[in-house]
Amino acid sequence: MADAVGGAAARGAGLVYRRLLLKLSGEALMGSGGYGIDMAVVDRLAKDVSEVVAAGAEIAVVVGGGNIFRGLQGAAKGMDRATADYMGMLATVMNALAFQNALEHQKTPARVLSAIPMPTVCESYVRPKALHHLGKGRVVIFAAGTGNPYFTTDTAATLRAMEMQCDAVAKATQVDGVYSADPKKDRSATRYDRLSHSEVLSKNLQVMDGAAIALARDNRLPVIVFSIEEPGNLLRVLKGEARATVIEG
């Protein structure tokens, strides 16, 4: 037992964040396509997660469903908002199962826990069960958001990070941090190295939705915004070496 504990500590040496919740958008899984799941991209992301697990980190993941269906867009087209959000939650389950499959191919054990019970395809979310999986070195993938309409997967990520006693939330994006405007559209956009939660809200920076940032602020949970486009960047985040924006305080 002592050797096992020592081995885990050695694997985690040099990590600033030992237990992290990774927030992946559904769009991150579709690559350059207009919709759906690009398994080559999913495999690359799974390799990054497997790398940090091998380094001794404990990783939870919340994945969105916007590559398949987005509740807000459905509501905007005349669908009942609650119905549209439930459809979006089901889309996240599909993404979570694809990501679990990719992790298993990397020989990294993973479990999908859904806020909406569907025992035929995955486990139901129960907090002690999720903590048990994390403690055993398994990647825990949370699906179906919070299980409630009107709440985004950003809010689900903050909530699950607190329930799992994570050191931080890492929000994976296509750019290397938070900017004052979209850097792809505005060349004069200012990049921030550090921000407080309150600054994100007051400046109306579109990092995560307001409820997620407020929840993180009220519970002193750091949020790290980084680019997932560069292979190996997740490990640099855990070591505190990535070019990223840290939101805390």
User: What mean pLDDT is predicted for residues 77-100?
Assistant: 92
Quickly tell me which residue has 């607190």 as its tokens: 162
Least confident interval from 64-68, 152-156, 196-200, 221-225: 64-68
Residues 212 and 157 sit within 8 Å (Cβ to Cβ)? yes
More confident residue, 36 or 90: 90
Q: Please give the Cα distance from 70 to 83 (Å, whole number).
A: 11
Quickly state the pLDDT bin for 216 (edges 50, 70, 90).
very high
The separation between the first and the last C-alpha atoms of the chain, rounded to the nearest angstrom, is 38
pLDDT at 57 over 80: yes
User: What mean pLDDT is predicted for residues 149-178?
Assistant: 95
Phi, psi for residue 111 in degrees, rounded to 5: -135, 140
Quickly state the pLDDT bin for 138 (edges 50, 70, 90).
very high
How do residues 95-127 score in pLDDT, each as one tens digit?
999 999 999 999 999 999 999 999 999 999 999
Q: Measured between alpha carbons, how far is residue 81 from residues 16, 30, 68, 77, 104 in Å?
A: 40, 24, 16, 10, 35
Predicted pLDDT of residue 68: 86
Domains and CATH numbers, the chain: 18-247 (3.40.1160.10)
Q: Please give the Cα distance from 97 to 94 (Å, whole number).
A: 5
Q: Please give the Cα distance from 37 to 86 (Å, whole number).
A: 19
Predicted pLDDT of residue 4: 44
Predicted pLDDT of residue 1: 42
User: What mean pLDDT is predicted for residues 34-40?
Assistant: 88
Predicted pLDDT of residue 76: 63
Predicted pLDDT of residue 75: 62
pLDDT at 6 over 80: no
Torsion, CA 194, CA 195, CA 196, CA 202, rounded to 10: 180
Least confident interval from 24-33, 98-107, 165-174: 24-33
Predicted pLDDT of residue 35: 83
Predicted pLDDT of residue 187: 85
Helix (H, G, I), strand (E, B), or coil: what is residue 108?
Answer: coil
Predicted pLDDT of residue 206: 84
DSSP state of 209: -
pLDDT at 225 over 90: yes
Mean pLDDT of the chain: 91
pLDDT at 200 over 60: yes
